Amino acid sequence: MKNTVTILMVAVILFFSQQNQLNAQDMKEEIPNISNFSVGNELPEMYSKYFTGHAYLAPLTKNKDLNCSISNVTFEPGCRNNWHSHAGGQILVVVGGKGYYQAKGEPARLLLPGDVVEIPVNVVHWHGAAPDSWFSHLAIETNPQVSKNTWLEQVDDEQYQKATGGTSSKEINLTIAAIKNHEELWPGYESKAAKTDPELIQVFDNFAFDDVISSGNLDTKTRVMMILGSTIACQAQTEYKMMMNAALNVGVTPVEVKEILYQSVPYVGIAKVIDFINLTNEIMTERGIQLPLEGQSTTTPETRMEKGLVLQKEIFGEMIDKMYEKSPKNQLHIQQYLSANCFGDYYTRNGLDVKTRELLTYSMLISMGGTESQVKGHIAGNVKVGNNKETLLTVTTQLLPYIGYPRTLNALNCLNEVIPE
Residue 72 near residue 136, CB atoms below 8 Å: yes
- The amino acid at residue 255 is V
pLDDT bucket at 408, cuts 50 / 70 / 90: very high
Neighbour count for residue 170 (Cβ, 10 Å) = 9
pLDDT, position 355: 98
How far is residue 71's CA from residue 282's CA, in Å, rounded to a whole number? 47
For the segment 52-63, the average pLDDT, to the nearest whole number, is: 94
pLDDT, position 306: 98
- The amino acid at residue 139 is A
Q: How many CA atoms lie within 13 A of 147 on its CB side?
A: 14
The answer, yes or no, to whether residue 299 has pLDDT greater than 70, is yes
Helix, strand, coil: what percent of the chain each, to 5? 55, 15, 30
Q: Is the domain defined by 41-164 classed in CATH 2.60.120.10?
A: yes
DSSP conformation letters of 313-343: HHHHTHHHHHHHHHS-GGGHHHHHHIIIIII
How far is residue 366's CA from residue 408's CA, in Å, rounded to a whole number? 7
Residues 6+ apart with CB under 8 A from 213: 177, 181, 223, 398
Q: For 148, phi and psi rounded to 5 degrees?
A: -155, 130
pLDDT, position 166: 52
Lowest mean pLDDT among 113-122, 156-165, 391-400: 156-165
Tell me the domain boundaries of the chain: 41-164, 176-211
For the segment 299-321, the average pLDDT, to the nearest whole number, is: 96
The answer, yes or no, to whether residue 94 has pLDDT greater than 50, is yes
